[in-house]
Chains A and B, each alone.
Chain A
Amino acid sequence: MSEQRNVWVFVEQTDGQPADVSLELLAKAQELARPLGGQVWALLCGRDVGALAQALIPYGADRVLLADDADLDVYRTQPYARVVADQARAHKPYIFLFGATPVGRDLAPRVASALRAGLTADCTDLQIGDYTARSDKQLYQDLLYQIRPAFGGNVMATIVNPRGHPQMATVREGVMRRREPDLARQGVVEAVPVAFDACDLALQVLSRETRRSTVDLKAAPVVVSGGAGLGGKEEFELIRELAHLLGGEVGASRAAVDAGYIGREHQVGQTGLTVRPRLYIAAGISGAVQHRAGMDQSNKIIAINTDPNAPIFQVAHYKIVGDAAEVLPLLIQALRDKAK
């Protein structure tokens, strides 16, 4: 078996449709595989998903391992983990990426435990680089840098797994960018045999209800986000009003979501969504690195905060030092006047 350093992506699918994050990771995997001289392999599990397997090649897969079986119809931890871990043991990927979705967060740690591999959750960037271990001064080349904001203020951590491959990471939707499919790409779909025992199939899914999200922050040209600095649920209405006026969507910091001002589907940040709108307005948001990771690539950023030293001002194109609850009504009025 060659010592090829391949980058794997677990491709999540529902009813034969791939998750956006999986396609984003295939694009990123191609970038990572280049300096490694390796291939990108996609691992796809499901029932009657052969067509999707083929469709992954234009998105960046050199090889698609396809586990197609009635028992893989809907996601369940044990049968999926069984297939994924078995394939990883057989083919020894160098890097293995999962979307940080409810499925990914259920599956990736179970697989990492089975493989005794290191896993880093919610990475905001992935790169290839070298590492010298502090303990024995050994040099490891071409490791996966798993980069993410760390707990504790303005801190980004770079994590590596020098031993214990594959090097595993989960990444949230929208953090990486997907590529347009290249229909000229060549690749191979390889069907893999699956065999389960009664233990693997012990859990049954009795019913499932997916909530059609009414919020599409990723596609919004304008996002108006509120933070805990607004002070209350009532003040948060100003955010909705402004978003509506600008034809945009409502976002929120984690603090605002935790405080109950608005639902988690509006959360922007490392553990929420990553957005890149034409205009991002941050009102009453301090701008810790975890939030900035989700919006700092916005085209133009306006920040409103009472604290002139708030970290959000470091990424803002327009700074307004003031109380968002007072500034927002003025901004709304100015927009209304302009529209007349």
Chain B
Amino acid sequence: MSSSKTYHSIVLVKQVPDTRQVTGEAMTADGTLNRGLLPAIFNPEDLSALEMALEVRDQHGGQVTVVTMGPPQAAAVLREALYRGADRVILLTDRKFAGADTLATSYTLQKAVEKLAPYDFVFCGRQAIDGDTAQVGPQVAEKLGLPQITYAEAIVRLEGGEVVVQRAFDQGTELVKCPLPCLLTVVGSARPARPPSVRRRLEHKYAATPLEYPARLKSSPEFETEAALDAYLAARGLRIPVWTAADLDVDHGRLGFAGSPTQVHKINYVVLEARESKTISPTPDGLRALVEELVKEYIAP
């Protein structure tokens, strides 16, 4: 007997520089990376998280709300989410959120999720490819008082107010059962994200946050004022809401840099002492000589 329960899923996503594409062009002379030169993408594991949420909605009904905390240009990942099927998207942006470590970030996200209650699931990617900490998911779960299921690879069963999830990590797999609401961090080995649909892309390509209106007016002179553009977008469900610190019930001391217990003491450019080394010619003779030396010094068997 199937339950008539439908599910509200909130998906927390992040726009990140594409760290997988670091080439020489993106590096500066002193060996650091110019993040601005890397393409900004939807964090890969967050796409997997979105897919899992969309599947829940497709199979059981309900709603998928996607939230991102970032600078104004993070609206791009919200549009991506709309193209793939999200019902509602929200941008959290405020100078006060900037400089946040995972603790301050999870605090801000907690407040946003609470504002979106009631909900059954919070999904996020296991980790972001820029920070690589995998900390935000569990920290949001702790603040919301939710059970957490990390390394979530698949929802095996969802019935009424209970979910069974398969977890997968290098050393093995695990099957867990948990009451809702709960938070899942989703791994990249989960079912691949559906591509953006052509129809949804056409329907949503003009979706924008009010912060983008000045630029939009320039490219769309048929709208004479921001108010006119806003009315047009709002009527079509294409206005992406922006929430700032003022829209959330927050203690400002816990936001951003001020709310971050971890601080960077220093950054060292790694200058290695030139190790005494031999250059070997990539030729049969060169490599034969290398093998001789390795065997003689008991380095190779």
On whether the two chains bind one another, the answer is yes
Q: Which residues of A contact B (CB under 8 A)?
A: 77-78, 81, 102, 105-106, 108-110, 112-114, 116-122, 131, 133, 145-146, 150-164, 199, 202-211, 213, 222, 246-247, 255, 258, 264-265, 271, 278-279, 288-289, 299-300, 302, 304, 311, 313-323, 326-327, 330-331, 333-335, 337-338
Give every chain A residue within 8 A of B15 (Cβ-Cβ).
Answer: none
Question: Are A247 and B135 in contact, with the CB atoms below 8 A?
Answer: no
Listed by A's residue number, 7 A-B pairs whose Cβ atoms lie within 8 Å are: A109-B139, A110-B141, A110-B148, A113-B103, A152-B32, A204-B178, A319-B280
Question: Are A133 and B263 in contact, with the CB atoms below 8 A?
Answer: yes
Is B198 among interface residues, defined by CB-CB distance under 8 A? no
Known: A160-B265, A289-B270. A155 touches B32 (CB 8 A): yes
Known: A210-B172, A333-B284. A113 touches B139 (CB 8 A): yes
A315–chain B nearest beta-carbon distance, Å: 6
Question: Are B263 and A159 in contact, with the CB atoms below 8 A?
Answer: yes
A53–chain B nearest beta-carbon distance, Å: 24
Q: Considering the complex of A and B, which 4 residue pairs feature the smallest CB-CB distances, nearest first?
A: A322-B282, A164-B261, A118-B261, A152-B33
Q: Which residues of B contact A (CB under 8 A)?
A: 19-20, 22, 27, 31-33, 35, 101-103, 106, 130-139, 141-143, 145, 147-151, 164, 169-179, 182, 260-272, 274-284, 286-288, 290-292, 294-295, 299-301
Give every chain B residue within 8 A of A204 (Cβ-Cβ).
Answer: 176-178
Closest to A270 in B: B132
Question: Are B102 and A109 in contact, with the CB atoms below 8 A?
Answer: yes
Known: A319-B279, A334-B288. A121 touches B132 (CB 8 A): yes
Give every chain B residue within 8 A of A265 (Cβ-Cβ).
Answer: 170
Q: How far is the CA of A120 from the CA of B135 in the complex (A)?
A: 9
Q: From DSSP, what is the main secondary structure of chain A's interface residues?
A: mixed
Question: Are A116 and B261 in contact, with the CB atoms below 8 A?
Answer: yes
Question: Are B179 and A202 in contact, with the CB atoms below 8 A?
Answer: yes
Question: Are A319 and B277 in contact, with the CB atoms below 8 A?
Answer: yes
Closest to A228 in B: B20
Question: Are A119 and B262 in contact, with the CB atoms below 8 A?
Answer: yes
Q: How far is the CA of A21 from the CA of B162 in the complex (A)?
A: 35
The residue that A327 contacts in the complex, of B22, B260, B287, with Cβ under 8 A, is B287
Q: How far is the CA of A202 from the CA of B161 in the complex (A)?
A: 12
